[in-house]
Structure 1
């Protein structure tokens, strides 16, 4: 059985921050990871001077009293970054030492917070159209029952709100699918030129309705990559559709491409597809967060144009699967450029 002389060596061999407390409530051993976390010079001192946080101090006191195992939280902060630990407290029977080990669970805590935020955002996005629908149904069942003009107007609004919910559910399902496939790299050769042609053909009616001119410059030569054609079509459809809607009526949307044998973003052969609009631009403050779920630079305008706040998040996950990148450049009053960078298939080009 290990004795007190072996304790520092045993604790020092453990990868997690670990320390030992004796019956006299003093820290008798710490490994280097624990010293980095809590600070050096604590050995031989009362544990309260090193741990300090009430929840953990209380757990230590209870364990020293009843010798039952426990878990307690510990929060650490350094240079603006907070770290969450789960602390395991276990008593060494026959030796009187209490062993504390600190497990970093920051990513789990962040994932849990992301799930809670996601549910809250979805609930918020659905609540508005649902409330509108319920209100109009109540009105049509009562005061507007025999008012043909009001009925037609309310039914039109209800159709818009139902369409908004349908788009949101569709984007949620799409986001779920692309996240599930994100780690599975595509193996089928796909022609980016053909995908762009299909995208522009599909969006020409929308551009016409918005009095927007689509200008393309990518030639006829194939640009082959290993990619999922349907997902890439979704990427370019999303970007060009956004450019049409947010660029403004009477403006131009340009779609251009270029290939590089060594693209600085991918450090290898790549194709860049640039979608440029002549709209009002986006404040630099918003650029880093545009691919976050439900983040909108202009909430009111985005909702008015039918946006769900998920389009660029879907684009990001699809490009992650393709080992690609999304670059966004914009200045207020000077439009925006969304650049998709995809690795070329060197064997097919």
Structure 2
């Protein structure tokens, strides 16, 4: 901008200088022409006066005429203060106030003489070799006839005019120097006043170009620069709104992409990965920095996925398929690859969407296994009932002891069938959350005493000792019936899988917090036994439906294989957690942690 200001100042100075110089030259020329014109007119008047005063027509020899005319013009020279020359019509000089006519050339070809021949008077300005400076020559005919005797010429020195012109030029030069100085100062101020708001506008424009859309021009003028400033501000306002809208849309898009459970990748026509979200990192097990900006053939992608990307890039057809990946763990992925187009003809790349189908497929397998298990579990008691009923119908009714034994088996199997159907319906209700929980404060010491009393008869029959440890005045907010169902299921399992003479124990305690021993937010319930325990390999699956560690013993004890699954779902409905620890042959320990207070 400083260079622009300097150039603008120089342009102003040059324009002013040229204008003033042109005006000075014009004034000097005008003054010169005016002076010469006035001098010429005066000289013509003087010549006419001279012609009218004397009779210039004379006869005689050239020598006689020269003497005559020299005498006359020598008298006129003093009064006219000018050089006077008498020229005959043929150009011969007959008299001159300053030179000997005999030594002078013929003057017929002189410019002023030729003009006088044509119009009766003439003038010219030329350098005089005799006098050494410019002279003004004025000539008129000596009489008014068509064939004049000759011409009278008057010449005056122009050195006075030239001296005046030199003084004018000196004055003009000094004036121009002063004017240039003033013009420089004024031009600089004008340029500064013009460029300073432009500097501000340019600075704001540069800030806007560097994504600072908040910059504005301070407008204090109503001229074109002020209009430009207002236009810049209007553009900045519009740009800021557009940038804000784009940032909002970009933020929304980024938020959507980052929070999508599905992995999203985008690749351009060259196969370079240009976009991916966080889910891709979780699904494929690689950081975004390792994938973004790399060509898919060089990226750490599963081989099957690379093949599908290559096919889509070549054919521009959408691809939908599933694949199994083994890193970072074994997973089933569903890949949807679609080509993207800017318009109907120009392709811009491909979009890759990955879904982790592992949990879905596991759920489908669990459902399939559940249906198979339900069918199997229902078929066993039904087959027993049908078989013994057929035996009775075939004639076993006649043997009362046998008939009674068969009827007892039929009754036991129907009871087992009834319990199985009941547990299936109960589990279905719990999983679908169709059981509303009625939360109320429960005093745990009294509650545990009542629960132990419910299973004490069965424990006594098996010779198993029940123990409990509950601190007084410990309250828990829960659904009393569902909490009792949880504990009875766990106690019954402990009793069923503990040999005679063993022990089943309940421990209830608050989970103390850092604030102090009197402040707690959760209650821990631990039910342990000294039974046969659970092998390590079976621990991850014991909460699955119909999963049994010892299938033969479970069936003989009347278990349905759904008790622990029901317990787990009921604990989760109470916003709690359940875990199990066990050593084969040493017993098991189930730990439940429940919140003391539930949010309404």
Tell me if TM exceeds 0.5. Answer: yes
1:224 aligns with 2:495: no
> 1:55-74 counterparts in 2 under 5 A?
57=308, 71-74=320-323
- Relative to structure 1, the CA distance from residue 50 to residue 280 in structure 2 (aligned partners, 3 Å threshold; closer, same or farther) is closer
Any idea what the Cα deviations from partners look like across 1:105-146, whole Å, max 9, x if unmatched? Answer: 423333323322222222222222222222223322325353
Tell me the equivalent position of 2:143.
none
1:27 aligns with 2:279: no
- Structure 1 residue 229: Cα displacement: 0.8
Contact 2:273 2:294 in 1 (8 A): no
Contact 2:507 2:525 in 1 (8 A): yes
Q: 2:345 aligns with which of 90, 94, 100?
A: 94
- Relative to structure 1, the CA distance from residue 102 to residue 236 in structure 2 (aligned partners, 3 Å threshold; closer, same or farther) is same
1:82 aligns with 2:331: yes
Q: Helix, strand or coil for the counterpart of 2:578?
A: strand
> 1:160-309 counterparts in 2 under 5 A?
160-181=412-433, 187-218=439-470, 221-262=472-513, 269-309=521-561
> Which TM-score applies when normalising by structure 1?
0.77
Q: Helix, strand or coil for the counterpart of 1:140?
A: helix
Higher relative contact order (CA 8 A, sep 6+): 1
Unaligned ranges ≥5, structure 2: 1-249
Supply the distance in 2 between the matched residues of 1:109 and 1:145 (Cα, whole angstroms). Answer: 51
- Structure 1 residue 277: Cα displacement: 2.2
Q: Helix, strand or coil for the counterpart of 1:222?
A: coil
- Structure 1 residue 279: Cα displacement: 2.0
Any idea what the Cα deviations from partners look like across 1:241-278, whole Å, max 9, x if unmatched? Answer: 12222112233322232223239xxx953322232322
Q: Tell me which moved more, 91-100 or 167-176.
A: 91-100
- Relative to structure 1, the CA distance from residue 171 to residue 185 in structure 2 (aligned partners, 3 Å threshold; closer, same or farther) is closer
Tell me the equivalent position of 2:375.
123
Q: Helix, strand or coil for the counterpart of 2:589?
A: strand
- Relative to structure 1, the CA distance from residue 185 to residue 134 in structure 2 (aligned partners, 3 Å threshold; closer, same or farther) is closer
- Relative to structure 1, the CA distance from residue 228 to residue 171 in structure 2 (aligned partners, 3 Å threshold; closer, same or farther) is same
- Structure 1 residue 45: Cα displacement: 5.6
Supply the distance in 1 between the matched residues of 2:590 and 2:297 (Cα, whole angstroms). Answer: 58
- Relative to structure 1, the CA distance from residue 20 to residue 186 in structure 2 (aligned partners, 3 Å threshold; closer, same or farther) is farther
- Structure 1 residue 297: Cα displacement: 1.7
Tell me the equivalent position of 2:265.
18
Contact 2:267 2:275 in 1 (8 A): no
RMSD, aligned CA? 3.8
Q: Helix, strand or coil for the counterpart of 1:27?
A: coil
Contact 1:182 1:318 in 2 (8 A): no
Higher share in helix: 2
Supply the distance in 2 between the matched residues of 1:115 and 1:230 (Cα, whole angstroms). Answer: 28
Tell me the equivalent position of 1:318.
570
1:329 aligns with 2:576: no
Contact 1:30 1:43 in 2 (8 A): no
Q: Helix, strand or coil for the counterpart of 1:53?
A: helix
Name the larger-Rg structure. 2
Supply the distance in 1 between the matched residues of 2:558 and 2:296 (Cα, whole angstroms). Answer: 64
Supply the distance in 1 between the matched residues of 2:448 and 2:335 (Cα, whole angstroms). Answer: 50
Any idea what the Cα deviations from partners look like across 1:59-101, whole Å, max 9, x if unmatched? Answer: 9859966x66553323333133314224153563322466342
Q: Helix, strand or coil for the counterpart of 1:323?
A: coil
- Number of residue pairs matched? 327
Supply the distance in 1 between the matched residues of 2:440 and 2:296 (Cα, whole angstroms). Answer: 63
- Relative to structure 1, the CA distance from residue 302 to residue 151 in structure 2 (aligned partners, 3 Å threshold; closer, same or farther) is same
